[in-house]
Amino acid sequence: MFRTYLPVPTVWRATVHVAVLRIYSHIISIIRYLPTFYESCRVHRLIIFESLCRRAYPNFASLFHILFICLFTRLVPS
């Protein structure tokens, strides 16, 4: 059995290489952005939790606000 391989033009190979490099650069940028995204999600969840606690227990609203500020300053680097 003889296999015949179609010759791949150089332009196609260059196009594939460029596409692979673009995909690789997108993956790298997403990996670099993930920690920032994770921290922002933690902060947003903390804000929602604090507002729910303040609505559920209005007598302790100032206490929840102080706790929120303490947690927020620990999450977000200065």
pLDDT greater than 60 at residue 78:
no
pLDDT in tens, 37-58: 777 777 777 778 777 777 877 7
User: Phi and psi of 25, rounded to 5°?
Assistant: -65, -35
Query: What is the spatial distance between Cα 78 and Cα 68, in angstroms, rounded to a whole number?
Result: 16
Query: What is the spatial distance between Cα 65 and Cα 51, in angstroms, rounded to a whole number?
Result: 9
pLDDT greater than 70 at residue 6:
no
In the prediction, which pLDDT does 62 show?
77
Residue type, 24: Y
Mean pLDDT of the chain: 73
72/54: higher pLDDT: 54
Sign of CA dihedral 56, 62, 63, 65: positive
